[in-house]
Amino acid sequence: MTRLWRGETVTHAGAHLHVEGARLTRLPDPVPRVYFGGSSASAGPVAARYSDVYLTWGEPLGAVREKLRWIDGLAAGAGRTLSYGIRLHVISRDTSAQAWQEARRLIEHVPDDMVARVQAGLSTSESEGQRRMRELHGGSRDQLEISPNLWAGVGLLRGGAGTALVGSHAEVADRIEEYAELGISEFILSGYPHLEEAYWFGEGVLPILRQRGRWQPPFPEEPDTSVNEVPFAVSAISAASASEAVSAAAAS
């Protein structure tokens, strides 16, 4: 794909794909970066050779550090340097107690037999990343905070990224900083429900990260210097008052 994006004509005959004289009539500008995630022994060399950003699911700091250093070594062997990202859910509130209450609420009414059915299905997956997610909680609700503010409860009921940062806005910002210190520069976050959690994060966590010099808005902020010459609210009130005055005069 990257050769096509560079404007090259590509011919390839492989076990799963055959193309002859493939080319793009319109080249992307800018050229998108390639994101790749995989925890298996075979995924690592592919990521090192072809990706620009290696993604990991949310695991405790030690496990993430080990995985990134593994990819670092493979990328160096391929003469490349990668960026790193992490995929997490987030539950951020004004206080830690409120955040943990929301985390518990998400799963408290889910019956145990449903959790068992989901985990039975996920156990058939050949994904190494999925195996690692399942090991974090072991199919049990007993110990879901697997490291400070890292909650494995999401993984009880869905495949894929199964952990969430849970805590006060400051605590979530602290954990993000710790991952950033490992070399993570991109954070792909979501929540349940997504829009509401995005507001909580945007209004609570981002200002803290900005104050600490860890985040900047993607576009420069420009002050709104326009002047509203027609005060609509005042005009509407004045018009209503005038209408009442006319009605009162007519009645008298």
Indicate whether 19 and 104 sit together in one domain.
Answer: no
Q: Is residue 131 part of a domain?
A: yes
Q: Is residue 51 part of a domain?
A: no
158-197 pLDDT per residue, tens: 999 999 999 999 999 999 999 999 999 999 999 999 999 9
Indicate whether 3 and 96 sit together in one domain.
Answer: no
Q: Is residue 64 part of a domain?
A: no
107-145 pLDDT per residue, tens: 999 999 999 999 999 999 999 999 999 999 999 999 999
Indicate whether 90 and 189 sit together in one domain.
Answer: yes
DSSP per residue, the chain: -HHHHTT--EEEE-SS-EEEEE--SS--SSPPPPEEE--STTHHHHHHHH-SEEEEE---HHHHHHHHHHHHHHHHHTT---EEEEEEEEEEESSHHHHHHHHHHHHTTS-HHHHHHHHHHHTT---HHHHHHHHHHTT-STT-EEETTEE-GGGGT-SS---EEEEEHHHHHHHHHHHHHHTEEEEEEE-SSHHHHHHHHHHHTHHHHHHTTS---SS----------S-HHHHHHHHHHHHHHHHHHHH-
Q: Is residue 241 part of a domain?
A: no
What does the pLDDT average to over 89-110?
A: 97
Indicate whether 12 and 92 sit together in one domain.
Answer: no
Q: Is residue 81 part of a domain?
A: no
Indicate whether 26 and 137 sit together in one domain.
Answer: no
Indicate whether 108 and 198 sit together in one domain.
Answer: yes
**Structural domain count, the chain:** 2
Residue 2 has pLDDT above 90, yes or no: no
Domain of 167 in residue numbering reads as 86-217
Indicate whether 124 and 22 sit together in one domain.
Answer: no
Q: Is residue 26 part of a domain?
A: yes
Indicate whether 116 and 208 sit together in one domain.
Answer: yes
- Give the pLDDT score at 208: 98
**pLDDT confidence tier of residue 17, bands split at 50, 70 and 90:** confident
CATH number for the domain spanning 114: value is: 3.20.20.30
Q: What is the pTM of this model?
A: 0.81
Indicate whether 129 and 7 sit together in one domain.
Answer: no
Indicate whether 25 and 134 sit together in one domain.
Answer: no
Indicate whether 15 and 97 sit together in one domain.
Answer: no
Indicate whether 21 and 143 sit together in one domain.
Answer: no
